[in-house]
Amino acid sequence: MANSLCYDVTMFDFFRSIWYEFLSYFVPEKVSYEITGQCKKCGKCCNYMYSVDTYTEKEFKIMQFLFPAYRRFYIKGKDEFGNFIFACKLVTKEGLCSDYKHRPAMCRNYPVKRIFYPAKLHEGCGYKISTKTFNDYLNDKNK
């Protein structure tokens, strides 16, 4: 009986090590962020947006074709580095969403907890983001 328990624990450890090994390949993508605070309804995130994968107007049109919900967005201009700045046609002058019930998932989930690039909020945004580092994960695990 004791041997069987020993065997189970060893097998469990073995599978757990394989699982951790598998997860280790995704560590860079498992950076997560602690989000605190709340929306102040300033409308900045609806008026000034960046996209990580849209560099030309053609790409933007393709995105809108593939994802009709993105048709509410338009190119507002470019920043000093030449990156597009997008805005939403549906934000009111007061900074509120005029289509709140049907806003896309990206708006519902903003700001997301798990993203693949460094998070940055608008100045004055009511939310605060703190990065959870690899050491934070280790410390959590050792508690």
Q: Does 45 bind ligand SF4 (CB under 6 A)?
A: yes
Q: Does 91 bind ligand SF4 (CB under 6 A)?
A: yes
- Whole-number minimum distance, CB 45 to ligand SF4, in Å? 3
- Whole-number minimum distance, CB 50 to ligand SF4, in Å? 13
Which residue number, 46 or 84, has a Cβ lying nearer to ligand SF4?
46
Tokens of 56: 């030309």
Query: DSSP states of 55-111 as a string?
Result: -SHHHHHHHHHH-GGGGGEEEEEE-TTS-EEEEETTB-TTS-BTTGGG--HHHHTPS
E strand or H helix that includes residue 45: helix 44-47
Q: Under a CB-based contact definition with an 8 Å cutoff, are residues 55 and 62 in contact?
A: no
- Whole-number minimum distance, CB 87 to ligand SF4, in Å? 8
Write out the residues near ligand SF4 by the rule CB under 6 A: 39-46, 72, 88, 90-91, 97, 99, 103, 107, 122, 125-127
